[in-house]
Amino acid sequence: MRGLPRRDWLALAALNAFVAIAMGAFAAHGISDPKAAEWLRTGAQYAFWHTMATFASAAFMGMGAPRARFAPAFFLTGSVIFAGSLYAMAFGAPRWLGAVTPIGGVLFLCGWAWLALSARDLDRGRGDRPT
């Protein structure tokens, strides 16, 4: 199984950040329902954090941790499910959709665990000593 090239993950991460910033701005300035604004803010925060995690994954790949190429799939799919379900509810989707939000959270956790595993690849071949 091969991951997408770094440039594709980075482009998707940038789009994820764009949506996160737009949703955060809408939460701050364009919506009056406090619960909907909270959902938008929460979704935007998690999506943005996991955009940064995708950039970290790209850095890991560039530093010699090839397994890190799979972490962005967890982070960005998690963002779509976690943040996407919150965004949808904020815009009127049925509240039962909140039952799928934790699936995105589990994907975030999987991504972080995978990135931690990938970190073990760093500095291999150099006597496992940091430089």
- CA neighbours closer than 13 Å in the CB half-sphere of residue 87: 20
Confidence label for 2 from pLDDT (cuts 50, 70 and 90): low
Would you say residue 124 has pLDDT above 90?
no
From 50-54, 64-68, 108-112, 126-130, the region with the lowest mean pLDDT: 126-130
Would you say residue 117 has pLDDT above 80?
yes
Would you say residue 1 has pLDDT above 50?
no
Distance CA 34, CA 131 (A): 50
Spatial CA neighbour of 52 closest among 111, 98, 120: 111
CB 4 within 8 A of CB 76: no
Say what the pTM is.
0.89
- CA neighbours closer than 13 Å in the CB half-sphere of residue 66: 3
